[in-house]
Amino acid sequence: MSALRTTSLRRRVTLTALLVVGIVLVALGFTVAAVFTAQGERNLNALLAGRVQLAQQLARENVAPANLVRRIDARGVVVSLRLPSGETIGAPEPADGRRVTAVLSGPPRLDGAELVLTADTSLFAGAERTLARVLVIGGLVAIAVTAFALLLGMRVALRPLDRMTALARSIASGSRGGRLSPSRPDTELGRTAEAFDEMLDALEASEERMRTFVADAAHELRTPIAGVRAAAEAVLELGPEAAPEQRERLELLLVRESQRAGRLVEDLLDLARIDAGVRLERGPVRLRELARTQADRLRLLAPSLTVRVSGPETEVNAEEGRITQILANLADNARNAAGDNGTIEFHCGQSADAVSLEITDSGPGVPEADRERIFGRLVRLDTGRGRDRGGSGLGLTIARGLARAHGGELSCHGATFRLTLPRG
């Protein structure tokens, strides 16, 4: 995953807003200039057309040429009338400007006269330049005012982020229990704050579970370690005159307590591997064959126990050692629940995309309220495995973790535990 770009949010928002404002102002400036130019052209054309129309009307009324020129004269318009006789009345034609030529009709002295109207465009060009300066200066002032307003407004707008930062740093320094508690969780900042609070809840809950687990694990290890220490001290204190039976009993106690501590340490290591992500070496595994192996082991441990294996042979792509570990934990759990004189049945099943193995014992079963809790770490029920049978309270946790590492599931249904694994 690429690193998160953490440039200043204030700078990014400010620059983005200024860029948008600049683009809008430039577009607005071009639009205003284009509209002004088009409107000016229309006004100028309308003025010249009106002067020509007036000249035609005056010519038909047989107005004197000099009077005609004087009456159609207007500000910014130069009038020049060339009579049929060759005489020119009015101002000379300027070199630059918008020029319109019209031929008059009317009495003999004006019939065929050429009227030339020249509009002075310098005033219009000056107005365009003035408008351009006003637009440029106004745009720069608008951008400067916008930038200043954004710098002040962003301080207020980003206060929720500053509060999130302060809360995160206080939690990192050891403070707990603080929350943002957004007033409106339906907004962008509200959703972010709500997700932040949910993350803090999850972190604190995880931390609490870890503290509880470490404390329980330390408590579980304390008992066998204390037994090992006591047995070792008793063996050292035995004199040469001690009876061999007494020495043998203490040595046996020492071995049992050390084995018990070793099993707990191995279970803790298995849990650590599961949490870190177990690496599986998969291959074809026959569940019925593994179930028969566990059934034979149970018969050796408890000859009076009745163990049956039923169902078709099923094959799954998994790691045989890990599946064996799951079945061993479930088999020992069933034996402790059923007792040495009870009954245990292994039943294999299959569907189009999954295989299953159910282990049912004749014990009282797990109450419905505890069927999920028993998969927690260091959890024992009154009817479950006890310390006297060597249980650490981690077997079912490890079994479910390994099942899920294979993409499957382990669930409890009263006196039946069902292991489901995908075929692929």
Residue closest to 79 by CA, chosen among 102, 62, 57: 102
Q: How many CB atoms neighbour CB 158 within 10 A?
A: 16
- Per-residue pLDDT, 4: 60
- Per-residue pLDDT, 362: 92
- Rounded Cα–Cα distance for residues 177 and 185 (Å): 19
- Per-residue pLDDT, 294: 93
Cα angle 151, 157, 159; round to 5: 105
Helix (H) or strand (E) holding 81: strand 77-82
How far from the centroid of its chain's Cα atoms is residue 202's Cα? 17
Domains of the chain: 9-155 (no CATH), 184-277 (1.10.287.130), 279-422 (3.30.565.10)
Helix (H) or strand (E) holding 307: strand 306-310
- Rounded Cα–Cα distance for residues 371 and 17 (Å): 57
Strand 114-119 with 88-90, pairing: unpaired
Residues whose CB falls within 8 Å of the CB of residue 56, separated by 6 or more in sequence, listed in order? 102, 104, 105
The alpha-helical segments, DSSP class H, found in 277-353 are 287-301, 320-338
- Rounded Cα–Cα distance for residues 344 and 415 (Å): 10
- Rounded Cα–Cα distance for residues 257 and 261 (Å): 6
Secondary structure letter of residue 344 according to DSSP: E
- Per-residue pLDDT, 202: 80
pLDDT tens over the chain, length 424 residues: 566 666 677 778 888 888 888 899 899 989 998 998 888 888 888 888 888 898 889 888 888 888 888 888 888 788 888 888 888 888 777 777 788 888 888 888 888 889 888 887 777 788 888 888 998 998 899 888 888 888 888 777 777 777 777 777 777 676 777 777 777 777 777 787 788 788 887 877 777 777 776 776 776 677 778 778 877 887 777 766 777 887 788 778 888 878 777 877 787 777 777 777 778 888 999 999 999 999 999 999 899 999 999 999 989 999 999 999 999 999 999 999 998 889 999 999 998 889 999 999 999 999 988 888 888 877 766 544 444 444 567 889 889 999 999 999 999 999 999 999 998 6
- Rounded Cα–Cα distance for residues 272 and 218 (Å): 15
- Rounded Cα–Cα distance for residues 102 and 82 (Å): 11
- Per-residue pLDDT, 360: 95
End-to-end CA distance of the chain: 29
Tokens at residue 367, please?
Answer: 């109450």
- DSSP secondary structure of 149-197: HHHHHHHHHTHHHHHHHHHHHHHHTT--S-----S-TTSHHHHHHHHHH
- Rounded Cα–Cα distance for residues 48 and 119 (Å): 8
Beta-bridged to residue 416, according to DSSP, are: 360, 413
Side-chain-facing half-sphere of 412: CA atoms under 13 Å: 23
How far from the centroid of its chain's Cα atoms is residue 297's Cα? 50
Q: What single-letter amino acid sits at 55?
A: A
Cβ(69)–Cβ(55) under 8 Å? no
pTM equals 0.52
Secondary structure letter of residue 93 according to DSSP: P
Rg over alpha carbons for the chain, rounded to the nearest Å, is 49
Long-range contacts of 164-167 (CB under 8 A, 24+ apart): 164/192, 164/193, 164/196, 167/196
184-224: per-residue pLDDT in tens? Answer: 777 777 787 788 788 887 877 777 777 776 776 776 677 77
